[in-house]
Amino acid sequence: MARREETEQEAGASPPAHRPTLGVGMVGYAFMGAAHSQGWRTAGHVFDLPVRPALAAICGRDRTAVEAAAARHGWAAAETDWRALIARDDVDLVDKCTPGDSHAEIAIAALEAGKHVLCEKPLANTVAEAEAMAEAAARAAARGQVAIAGFNYRKVPALTYARSLIADGRLGTLRHVRATYLQDWLVDPLSPLTWRLKREHAGSGALGDLGAHIVDLAQYLAGEPLVGVSAVSETFVRERPLLAGDGAGLSGTADSAARGAVTVDDAALFTGRLASGALASFEATRMAAGRKNALRLEINGQLGSIAFDLERLNELSFHDHTEPATTAGFRRILVTEPEHPYLEAWWPPGHGLGYEHTFVHQARDVVRTITEKTAPVPSFADGLQVQRVLAAVEESAAKNSVHTPVPF
Ligand code: SOE
């Protein structure tokens, strides 16, 4: 870590000067790059951290675009070669925000160069890549380096709190996990063929993009792994217009007439079994008209249930089944008290947080993990476990692609 002390001039009015810095180098500057930038920029201002994240350099292939991103998001320098970014003395941690096809190569190179790594989800495009990353992370851990997978929704205070309720036994033995993640940005068949729709770049479609989140959350909240799955998936729109320009956002602008093949799923539905025997169901789709970012979870146990909806992320519904039936029922907990996870540093009760705060919490946790030398969570091993589930889902969906008629 750069033990360079920042000067008053560099630090500005806040956060407090003379704190050592953790130099961050980010690869990628589109949607996730912008979200992670906000996290790194804000964490040291909101949380009382022993070292302050310093936005050392950002990297992208297009010089003009990456310089614009550096200026917009507050990065001190811009690089066009990720190897040069990793080699910089002022970079202690490499944050990977590019498509999955480059995760393994860059993350492993960064770890071997002695840097800490934060890598966006899904950890990789294949199990083999994720295994190589987990092995590199284990070798690096022995040298005191940290490798963390970017499952940011674990950092929603209501979900972190739900995890503690479940770990404390408030739900008793778990019976059901029900998880859906619904978006609608591919409903329009003329929405163009971005990298997210190409297997060679994204690995899979809604499954890896959205399913990875709910698989991770199910395992994180339940505190146990999925041990078997059965799946169906579909690509409803098999050809889409080619992209005009680089299409950094979700959908981008379509070119005129030319079409290309969509090589990933639009939707994946699967059921599974957790190690304890609880049953789980999952639905990940970008074809749910009207649903923008609807991540919903319900978990039922012998003693109670919790329910969560990302579109109302400051709330957690909790039903305590040990209460008299006449008064029991789901009640809404507003997760904005200073005693709730991460809330001690934010606004007074009821003032609420949003999507971007998950990235601030992620940055805070990465810094604390490095400085307090605690085990990284979620680790690359956790990311690998999710990758194995995604691969099992794809395998099962491939077998189920021929519909077996059900006799009446
Ligand atoms: C697009 O579907 C996307 O940005 C995902 O890639 C993110 O992981 C999710 O948090 C929001 O939706």
Pocket test for ligand 1, best of 209, 355, 356 (most atoms within 8 A of CB): 209
What pLDDT is recorded for position 121? 98
Closest-CA residue, ligand 1 atom 8, reads: 209
Name the phi and psi angles at 105, rounded to 5.
Answer: -60, -50
The closest of 180, 205, 153 to 390, measured between CA atoms, is 205
What pLDDT is recorded for position 15? 43
Task: Report whether residue 330 contacts ligand 1, using a CB cutoff of 6 Å.
Answer: no
What pLDDT is recorded for position 287? 98
What pLDDT is recorded for position 405? 67
Q: Residue 240 Cα, ligand 1 centroid: separation in angstroms?
A: 20
Task: Report whether residue 31 contacts ligand 1, using a CB cutoff of 6 Å.
Answer: yes
Placement of tokens 């205070």 in the chain: 157
Q: Residue 211 Cα, ligand 1 centroid: separation in angstroms?
A: 10
Q: At what angle do helices 31-46 and 63-73 cross, to 10 degrees?
A: 30
Q: Residue 209 Cα, ligand 1 centroid: separation in angstroms?
A: 6
The helix or strand, by DSSP H or E, that contains position 366, with its residue range, turns out to be helix 357-372
Q: Residue 210 Cα, ligand 1 centroid: separation in angstroms?
A: 6
Q: Residue 217 Cα, ligand 1 centroid: separation in angstroms?
A: 14
- The answer to whether residues 360 and 38 touch, using CB atoms and an 8 Å cutoff, is yes
Bridge partners of residue 94, in order along the sequence: 25, 117
Mind giving me the DSSP string for 377-393? Answer: SSBHHHHHHHHHHHHHH
Task: Report whether residue 209 contacts ligand 1, using a CB cutoff of 6 Å.
Answer: yes
- For the CA of 32, the nearest atom of ligand 1: 4
275 CB-near residues (< 8 Å, 6+ apart):
224, 225, 226, 227
What pLDDT is recorded for position 358? 98
- Specify the 3-state DSSP secondary structure of 70: helix
Task: Report whether residue 183 contacts ligand 1, using a CB cutoff of 6 Å.
Answer: yes
What pLDDT is recorded for position 135? 98
What pLDDT is recorded for position 9? 40
247 CB-near residues (< 8 Å, 6+ apart):
192, 194, 195, 253
The count of other CB atoms within 10 Å of the CB of residue 304 is: 21
pLDDT tens for the chain, 408 residues long, are 543 444 434 443 344 455 699 999 999 999 999 999 999 999 999 999 999 999 999 999 999 999 999 999 999 999 999 999 999 999 999 999 999 999 999 999 999 999 999 999 999 999 999 999 999 999 999 999 999 999 999 999 999 999 999 999 999 999 999 999 999 999 999 999 999 999 999 999 999 999 999 999 999 999 999 999 999 999 999 999 998 876 656 777 777 689 999 999 999 999 999 999 999 999 999 999 999 999 999 999 999 999 999 999 999 999 999 999 999 999 999 999 999 999 999 999 999 999 999 999 999 999 999 999 999 999 999 999 999 999 999 999 999 866 666 776
Task: Report whether residue 194 contacts ligand 1, using a CB cutoff of 6 Å.
Answer: no
The helix or strand, by DSSP H or E, that contains position 286, with its residue range, turns out to be none
- The answer to whether residues 60 and 96 touch, using CB atoms and an 8 Å cutoff, is no
Task: Report whether residue 120 contacts ligand 1, using a CB cutoff of 6 Å.
Answer: no
Placement of tokens 């008290």 in the chain: 337
